[in-house]
Amino acid sequence: MPERLDLMRWSLRLGAVPVAGFRSSRRHVESTVGSRARLVVLLGVVLAATIAANMAAFGFYDSILGSLFDPDGPFGERQRAALTAIFVSSSCIVSSAIALLIAMIVPPHSRIALSARIAGASRSLIAVGEFLPTAALIAIVVIASSGASTAVIASHQQFPVITTVSLVAIASAFGIVALIVRDAVVIGAGLLKWSDTASRSVGMLVAILVTGAMIVDIGTGALQQRTSVVARCLVWLWSGRSAPTTFVDAAASIAVLLALVALACLTAAGGGLQQPLQVGWRVLAARAVGRPSAFINFVIREALLYIRHPVTAVSLISMAVLMAAGVAAARTGLIPAEAIVIFFAILCAAGAETAHGRTRRVR
Amino acid sequence: MRKACFPVLEIDSLRKSYGAREVLDSVSMSVPMGSVTGLLGPNGSGKSTLLHIVVGLIKATSGRVTFGDLPASDSAVRRAIGFCPDDLPLPELLTAREYLTLIEGIRGMRSNEVAIDYMSSGLRIAAHLDALVGTYSHGMKRKLQLIAALLHRPTLLILDEPFRGLDPESGAIMRTLVTRYAAEGNAVLISTHDLALAGRLCRNVVVLQDGQVRASGELAHVVGTHADLESSFLAYTGLDVEAEDAADEFFAGLEVLEGA
Q: Residue B79: list chain A partners with CB under 8 A.
A: 120
Give long-range contacts, CB 8 A cutoff, 24+ apart: A219-223. A219/A325, A219/A328, A219/A329, A219/A332, A219/A334, A221/A82, A221/A85, A222/A82, A222/A86, A222/A334, A223/A332, A223/A334
Distance of CA A103 to the CA centre of its chain: 8
Q: Which residues of A touch B81 (CB under 8 A)?
A: 120
Q: Which residues of A touch B148 (CB under 8 A)?
A: 115, 119
- The shortest C-alpha distance from A17 to chain B (Å) reads 7
pLDDT at A142: 78
Mean pLDDT, rounded, of chain B: 87
Contact B98 A363 (CB under 8 A): no
- Site from A5, A35, A118 to mutate, B interface, most B CB atoms within 10 angstroms: A118
φ, ψ at A159 (rounded to 5°)? -120, 85
User: Is A17 within 8 Å of B55 when comparing Cβ atoms?
Assistant: no
| A interface with B, Cβ–Cβ below 8 Å | 8-10, 12-13, 15-17, 19-20, 23-24, 27-28, 31, 107, 111-112, 114-121, 125, 363
pLDDT score at A265: 44
B175/B188 Cα distance (integer angstroms): 12
Does B15 score more than 90 pLDDT? yes
Question: How does strand B8-18 pair with strand B70-71?
Answer: unpaired
Spell out the residues 6+ positions from residue A190 whose beta carbon is closer than 8 angstroms to its own.
A196, A199, A273
- Say whether A15 and B105 touch across the interface (CB within 8 A): yes
B134 CA: distance to closest CA in chain A (Å): 9
Alpha carbons B97 and B242: distance in angstroms, whole number: 47
Residue of B nearest to A109 (CA): B91
Which chain B residue's Cα is nearest to A8?
Answer: B108
Q: Which amino acid is at B93?
A: L
Q: What is the pLDDT of residue A2?
A: 55
Look at residue B174 and tell me whether its pLDDT is greater than 70: yes
* Environment class of A356 (CB within 10 Å of its CB; exposed 0-12, middle 13-18, buried 19+): exposed
What's the pLDDT at A361? Answer: 46
Q: What's the pLDDT tens digit per position in B206-233?
A: 999 889 998 888 888 888 888 888 888 8
* Angle, CA of A191, B160 and B240, to the nearest 5°: 100
Task: Supply the pLDDT for residue B133.
Answer: 92
Rg over alpha carbons for chain A, rounded to the nearest Å, is 23
A239: left (phi over 0), alpha (psi -120 to 50) or beta: left
> Exposed (0-12), middle (13-18) or buried (19+): which is A76, by Cβ within 10 Å?
exposed
Q: At what angle do helices B229-237 and B239-259 cross, to 10 degrees?
A: 90
Residues B151, B107: Cα–Cα separation, whole Å: 9
pLDDT value at residue A284: 45
Q: How far apart are CA A66 and CA A59, in angstroms?
A: 10
Confidence of residue B158 (pLDDT cuts 50, 70, 90): very high
Mean pLDDT, residues B188-213: 90
**The pLDDT value given to residue B6:** 46
Q: How far is A358 from chain B (nearest CA, A)?
A: 21
Set of chain A residues whose Cβ sits within 8 Å of the Cβ of B92: 111, 363
**pLDDT computed for residue A268 by the predictor:** 39
Q: Is the CB of B85 inside 8 Å of chain A's CB atoms?
A: yes
A13 contacts B105? CB cut-off 8 A: yes
d(CA A125, CA A130): 8
**Residue B57: pLDDT band with limits 50, 70, 90:** confident
Q: What's residue A308's pLDDT?
A: 64
Facing B94 at nearest CB: one of A24, A31, A125: A24
- Three-state SS sequence of A113-160: HHHHHHCCCCHHHHHHHHHHHHHHHHHHHHHHHHHHHHHHHHHCCCCH
Separation CA A66–CA A153 (nearest Å): 9
How many whole angstroms separate alpha carbon B58 and alpha carbon A153? 51
Q: Using CB atoms, which residue from B81, B83, B98 is nearest to A20?
A: B98
> Minimal Cα distance from B147: which residue of A?
A119
Q: Which helix (H) or strand (E) holds B10?
A: strand B8-18
Each of the 363 residues of chain A gets a pLDDT tens digit; together they read: 555 667 777 777 778 888 988 888 888 878 777 788 888 888 888 888 888 888 888 887 777 777 777 777 777 776 777 677 677 777 777 777 777 777 766 665 667 888 888 888 887 788 778 878 877 887 888 788 778 878 887 887 777 788 788 788 777 777 777 777 776 777 777 677 776 666 666 666 676 666 666 656 665 665 565 656 655 665 555 444 444 445 555 555 555 555 555 554 444 333 333 333 344 334 344 444 455 566 666 666 667 766 666 556 666 666 676 677 677 767 766 677 767 777 776 666 666 655 555 444 444
- If pLDDT is split at 50, 70 and 90, which confidence band does B68 have? confident
DSSP, res A83:
H
Rounded CA-CA distance A334/A220 in Å is: 10
Chain B residues close to A9, C-beta within 8 Å: 108-109
CA distance B246 to B252: 10
Q: Are B133 and B144 in contact (CB under 8 A)?
A: yes
Q: What is the pLDDT of residues B88-129, one digit of tens each?
A: 778 888 999 999 999 999 888 888 888 899 999 988 899 999
